């Protein structure tokens, strides 16, 4: 796994992520401490950190996954708040492409069929159209 991630991210970033994992393990970090340490990382780094952590025989990968879910829940909350405040496009513009795609996927609003789309409420249809337009324009 380390070789694959190193090919994707490069050796320096992979080495940094491995050092981070070693620190988590050495210090016996729990979910809250891991969350505080990864909440400002980009989604790709968090995903790679998770994959690297699966090689350890600890709860670390579970804590990283739970922390990422918490990050995504916060992102959904901010999206919904921005929708209510009429500032959703401003909020979306602050996210990078990967974060928007992950948010759409996390909310179940990525690449829907017409049948699935028609089942959505008005607010979620708006989100879906916004995500689709954003992804289409940046890809």
Q: Global pTM?
A: 0.89
Chain centre to alpha carbon of residue 41? 9
Closest CA to 51 of 42, 64, 35, 67: 64
- Indicate the pLDDT class of residue 135, thresholds 50, 70 and 90: confident
User: For residue 27, how many other CB atoms are within 10 A of its CB?
Assistant: 9
Q: Cβ–Cβ contacts within 10 Å for residue 38, how many?
A: 21
Q: What per-residue confidence (pLDDT) applies to 101?
A: 94
**CA dihedral in degrees (123, 137, 78, 98; nearest 10)?**
130
For residues 14 and 7, what is the distance between their CA atoms, to the nearest angstrom?
9
Residue 1 has what pLDDT? Answer: 83
**pLDDT reported for residue 139:** 63
Taking only the tens place, the pLDDT of each residue in 30-77 is 999 999 999 999 999 999 999 999 998 889 999 999 999 999 999 999
Task: Look at 138 and 120; give whichever has higher pLDDT.
Answer: 120
CA 128 to chain centre: 17
């Amino acid at each position: 796994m380390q070789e694959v991630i190193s090919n994707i991210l490069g050796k320096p970033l992979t080495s940094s992520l491995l050092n981070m994992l070693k620190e988590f393990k050495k210090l016996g970090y729990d979910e809250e401490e891991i969350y505080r340490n990864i909440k400002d990382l980009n989604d790709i780094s968090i995903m790679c950190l998770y994959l690297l952590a699966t090689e350890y025989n600890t709860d670390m990968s579970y804590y990283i996954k739970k922390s990422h879910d918490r990050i995504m829940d916060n992102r959904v909350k901010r999206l919904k708040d921005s929708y209510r405040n009429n500032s959703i496009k401003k909020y979306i513009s602050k996210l990078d492409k990967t974060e928007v795609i992950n948010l759409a996927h996390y909310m179940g609003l990525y690449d829907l069929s017409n049948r699935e789309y028609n089942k959505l409420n008005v607010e979620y249809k708006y989100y879906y159209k916004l995500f689709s337009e954003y992804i289409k324009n940046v890809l």
